[in-house]
Amino acid sequence: MRSACVWTVLLLACGGGERFSEQTLAADEIPDDPTTWTVQANLPTMLRIEPGSFAMGSADGVRGRTVDEQQHQVTLTRPYLLSSTEVSQGLYRSVTGRNPSLAVGYDKKKMVGERFPVQGVSFVDAARFCNQLSAHEGLAPVYAIQGGAVTWQRDADGYRLPTEAEWEYAAGAGQVQPWAGAAEPQDACAVANVADQALGSAGGFPCSDGFPSKAPVGSLQSNAWGLFDMTGNVWEWVFDLHAPHPEAPTTDPSGAASGSERVYKGGSWLDGPDAARVAARRHGDPGELSIQLGFRLARTVADKPAPDGGAAG
Ligand SMILES: [Ca+2]
């Protein structure tokens, strides 16, 4: 499995436009593919998020704002579950038998490990994984998948991707601030693995989170609702087909009725302040693979909202 070759990849940050230096790693430094990672050891905590309303998108004049971020009022009427962390390589491999992070990466020694977020998964891979995990846990699979077409079967109780609104509402955690758990750029490194002084990134965050590349999931502080890495570490696929946000208030949105590209959120360890904003949006083909792109899990909750509503539990 090992050879004397050297991996060399030139990286371009996604969305932020920053250009990063060439990295090299001898192949014999790549860690062995483990065989002992288990579902049980890697299942994340599923946090219950109560319904509520929030201003989705960003206002005119916000630095880094893109034209599809029109701010508008969104109401979520139903509680849902959201995983406290991104899906780890340990969980992905224990369910599917493979770790795609081994195939996509510029510095495998720093990016491969049981607790690191999985990367190199397409939107379709993520949907298929949700169904496989549902089957493993005795839950009804949520997605009907035919080629690149993924349909949400809404009465199913299994694992799924969050909608963009569910993701953004939970990332904000009831606070109006640019990043998940941080209002100022110098404070972001406590809660987010982003492009920063640890990476040596000019134009990144003016602080150090201690991680020049990916971090094991949940390494930093959570946001106010107990969610880790909503900003930074890896971008996260959500369910929505991409279209510009509407201006009018919406209820329980789940993306455009038609289109071809799916949204991803949150920024990665290669993204500076603009791209890592909670309201920032990126989108790509459902087959897109990236060293910066993973996902987290959601589930639909069948019961009614808690009496006091509006907070996570
Ligand atoms: Ca970092």
* CATH number of the CATH domain containing 141: 3.90.1580.10
Would you say residue 49 lies in a domain? yes
Q: Which two tokens stand for residue 188?
A: 């972001």
Residue 214 lies in a domain: no
**Tally of CA atoms within 13 A in the half-sphere of 25 that contains its CB:** 16
pLDDT score at 311: 44
Q: From edge to edge, which strands make up the β-sheet containing 52-56?
A: 52-56, 72-76, 250-251
For the chain, give the percent of residues with pLDDT over 70.
Answer: 83
More confident residue, 291 or 19: 291
- Distance CA(35)–CA(24), nearest Å, equals 26
Residue 43: inside a domain, yes or no?
A: yes
Ligand 1 centroid – CA 205 distance (Å): 9
Distance 234 CA to ligand 1 centre (A): 11
Ligand 1 centroid vs 198 CA: distance in angstroms? 6
Does the CA dihedral 156-157-162-163 come out positive or negative? positive
For residue 265, is it within any domain?
no
Q: In whole angstroms, how far apart are CA 42 and each of 71, 97, 153, 215, 261?
A: 36, 14, 26, 15, 29
How many CB atoms within 10 Å of residue 288? 17
Rounded to the nearest angstrom, the distance between the alpha carbon of 186 and the centre of ligand 1 is 13
In this prediction, residue 12 carries a pLDDT of: 33
Going by their DSSP bridges, the two strands 262-265 and 298-300 should be labelled as unpaired
Query: What is the residue range of 251's domain?
Result: 4-175+242-257+285-312
Between the CA of 27 and the centroid of ligand 1 the distance, in Å, is 23
Q: What is the pLDDT of residue 37?
A: 84
| Cα 203 to ligand 1 centre (Å) | 13
- Sheet strands side by side (includes 282-284): 282-284, 262-265, 235-241, 293-294
Separation of CA 273 and ligand 1 centre (Å)? 12
Query: Is residue 296 within 8 Å of 87, Cβ to Cβ?
Result: yes
CB atoms within 10 A of CB 2: 10
Dist. CA 55 → ligand 1 center (Å): 28
Query: Whole-prediction pTM value?
Result: 0.87
Q: What is the mean pLDDT of the segment spanning 90-94?
A: 94
Tell me the β-bridge partners of 76: 52
**Confidence band, pLDDT 50/70/90 cuts, at residue 96:** very high
Number of domains forming the structure of the chain: 1
Q: Which helix (H) or strand (E) holds 110?
A: helix 108-111
Residue 51 within a domain: yes
Specify if 118 maps to a domain: yes
- Say how many Å lie between the CA of residue 204 and the centre of ligand 1: 9
Mean pLDDT, residues 36-57? 95
- 214 Cα: distance to centroid of ligand 1 (angstroms): 7
Q: Is 116 inside any structural domain?
A: yes
Average of pLDDT values for 119-137? 97
Query: How many angstroms is it from 206 CA to the middle of ligand 1?
Result: 11
- Considering only residues 297 and 105, tell me which one the structure prediction assigns the higher pLDDT: 297
CA 243–ligand 1 middle distance (angstroms):
30
Which of 19-28, 48-57, 65-74, 100-109 bottoms out in mean pLDDT, i.e. has the lowest?
19-28
Q: What is the mean pLDDT of residues 182-200?
A: 95
Q: How confident is the model at residue 177 (pLDDT cuts 50, 70, 90)?
A: very high
Q: Please tell me the predicted confidence (pLDDT) of residue 148.
A: 82
Residue 47: Cβ within 10 Å count: 17
How many angstroms is it from 297 CA to the middle of ligand 1?
A: 23
Cα–Cα distance measured from residue 113 to residue 308, given in angstroms and rounded to the nearest whole number: 40
Name the band, by pLDDT with cuts 50, 70 and 90, for residue 307.
low
The label of the residue with tokens 């890495």 reads 229
* CA 267 to centroid of ligand 1, rounded, Å: 11
Sign, CA torsion 86/89/90/94: positive
DSSP string, 163-216: PHHHHHHHHHTT---SBTTBSSGGGGGGT-B-SSTTTT-TTS-SS--S-SS---
CA angle 15, 279, 150 (to 5 degrees): 80
Rounded CA separation 302/19 (Å) = 46
Residues 6+ apart with CB under 8 A from 165: 56, 74, 76, 250, 252, 253, 254
Whether residue 201 is contained in a domain is answered as no
Contacts (Cβ under 8 Å, ≥6 apart) of 149: none
Please tell me the distance between residue 183's alpha carbon and the centre of ligand 1 in angstroms: 17
